[in-house]
Amino acid sequence: MIWSAALEILLQNKCDFLVIGSGVAGLSYALKVADFGQVVLISKRSLDESNTRYAQGGIAAVWSPEDSPDSHVNDTLVAGAGLCRRETVEKVVREGPIRVQELIDQGVTFCRDEPNGDFDLGREGGHTERRILHARDRTGEEIVRALVERVRENPNIEIRENCMAVDLITGSWLARRKEELPPYPDVVRGAYVLSLETHVVDVFSAKIVALCTGGAGKVYRYTSNPDVASGDGMAMAYRAGAHLQNMEFVQFHPTCLFHPKAKRFLISEALRGEGGKLRLGSGKRFMERYHELAELAPRDVVARAIDSELKKTGADCVYLDMTHLEASFLRERFPVIYGRCADMGIDIASDPIPVVPAAHYFCGGVATDLHGESSVRNLFAIGETACTGLHGANRLASNSLLEGVVFAHSAAEAACERLGELECLDLPNWDSGKAVDSDELVVIKQTWEEIRTFMWNYVGIMRTTRRLKRARHRVQLLQEEIRNYYWDFRLTGDLVELRNLAQVADLVVESALARRESRGLHYTIDFPHSDMRWVRDTELRKRT
């Protein structure tokens, strides 16, 4: 017995750097730290599945001589509605071009202008200058392609695909097991990781852990995010005692395709830029009633208007009408959208496109310092899972890929500097107790649907205190049910995600209830105006 325990410890996975997640943040960080130590990179699905992969618009950086860092800083601050951390904004904007150049050096190809060979810089809503480097509407795919190639050829990076981090292991968790005093400040020691192929939970001991797990769009019924975006990093960090911030600021994209077979397909704003009109099922337009710019109003205004019409009429979707344009133009200008809609039986030259707003981006997350380190020592959070202070109450388009690469660099620098002082511990193996295989998968599915539906209806684009309290009541009951269920049955990916979705839902609801004003992406009918007294971050930390 003693021998088998000793053998298990001997066989434990140990590494210098454990990287959880393989989007732009995880891939960039792994490549940087791999020069200094042994890296294990785990990813819930294949290495190339992430929010990053679906990024369409591009990555913002001051590139042209007509542009300036001050202008990019200012645009970011304006979008953030008073809640950006200025030093973070300055850092990201000023380091941005260097990190983008590094992406190019890693093999990422951005589009260039034909005649002069300069980068073809795009302009997006909220940017006063052209500063978006892009690879047509496939920027994310191109970034992932190049970085995954580099990661796969790096001998210091051990890749574990279809592996899902379940929980972080911290010093205070270990101390509680041994009935000792917890360390101060708390420190991360590793993580438990579920193989989605063998269903075994392994322990990974690491000197430094980086959460690069992306956002949590899946907590809402409609989302532009792929299935992997279930807020695992935010939930794990919260359970580990890290501080989270600003979880109420969820960005909704106004127009995602509404079709039973088209999970999460974005219909770009550029269609409205080409004169697309939003209509109700009756054919009537409605945007003029909400904003003088009608369909060209800012993204959050359009999303709120659609939401309001859907709530009033009880309809499932509204329609984006592009039928004023020739099929040949639409095919040429929007090949991906044209093709995808055609696959669903919608000819956008003759049929209005059914659309709904969808949860798109989480501005809040694990609170970090300027090096991407969380309040738990040696635990870094990078990319969408983090709250660095860059976005404040609203994200400026194309700033998130940039944030990922800038913070991957800073976190790598900070982590490598202290590596020599750290050690890997022998950690306890996962104890599944008397858990048995679940024969009630329908329970998971039902609870999952319930969370996503009430988050959409009660904690969506337009909130009220009453709806939020209703959601709080539901989420607390469900969390209790999940807690009971969780330890009785052997872990599956769905069960782990369900627990995390409920946790994130709870955090969004609590943060939204705490903010008694409307600001940026958080709009509540009960407090429809911004209030100077609320110019501060919403902080959450686990009650122990």
Ligand X SMILES: Cc1cc2nc3c(=O)[nH]c(=O)nc-3n(C[C@H](O)[C@H](O)[C@H](O)COP(=O)(O)OP(=O)(O)OC[C@H]3O[C@@H](n4cnc5c(N)ncnc54)[C@H](O)[C@@H]3O)c2cc1C
Give me the residues that bind ligand X (CB under 6 A), please. Answer: 20-26, 42-45, 49-52, 54-59, 139-140, 164-165, 212-214, 224-225, 228-229, 232, 266, 361, 383-385, 398-401, 404
Nearer to ligand X, 170 or 400 (CB): 400
Q: What's the CA angle centered on 119, arms 115 and 125, to 5 degrees? A: 120
As a whole number of angstroms, the distance between CA 121 and CA 131 comes to 5
Tokens of residue 284, six digits: 């009537």
As a whole number of angstroms, the distance between CA 61 and CA 485 comes to 47
CB of 404 to ligand X, least distance (A): 5
- Classify 233 as helix, strand or coil: helix
In the chain, the largest separation of any two C-alpha atoms, in whole Å, equals: 76
As a whole number of angstroms, the distance between CA 194 and CA 303 comes to 37
Tokens of residue 458, six digits: 């009660």
As a whole number of angstroms, the distance between CA 222 and CA 216 comes to 12
CB of 4 to ligand X, least distance (A): 28
CB of 528 to ligand X, least distance (A): 28
39 close to 22: Cβ distance less than 8 angstroms: no
Nearer to ligand X, 16 or 232 (CB): 232
CB of 139 to ligand X, least distance (A): 6
2 close to 359: Cβ distance less than 8 angstroms: no
537 close to 363: Cβ distance less than 8 angstroms: no
Nearer to ligand X, 45 or 331 (CB): 45
Residues 6 or more apart whose Cβ sits within 8 Å of residue 465 = 513, 524, 526
Nearer to ligand X, 16 or 384 (CB): 384
456 close to 306: Cβ distance less than 8 angstroms: no
Q: What Rg do the C-alpha atoms of the chain give, in angstroms?
A: 23
Nearer to ligand X, 24 or 521 (CB): 24
- Tell me which of 299, 340, 452, 515 is the catalytic residue: 299
Nearer to ligand X, 129 or 517 (CB): 129
Task: Give phi and psi for 150, each to the nearest 5.
Answer: -65, -45
CB of 435 to ligand X, least distance (A): 19
CB of 178 to ligand X, least distance (A): 27
Helices (H), 346-492: 399-418, 441-458, 465-488
As a whole number of angstroms, the distance between CA 483 and CA 487 comes to 7
Nearer to ligand X, 88 or 524 (CB): 88
CB of 367 to ligand X, least distance (A): 15
Tokens of residue 208, six digits: 């430094």
Active site residue 299: yes
| Residue 462: its H or E element | none
**Catalytic (active-site) positions:** 299
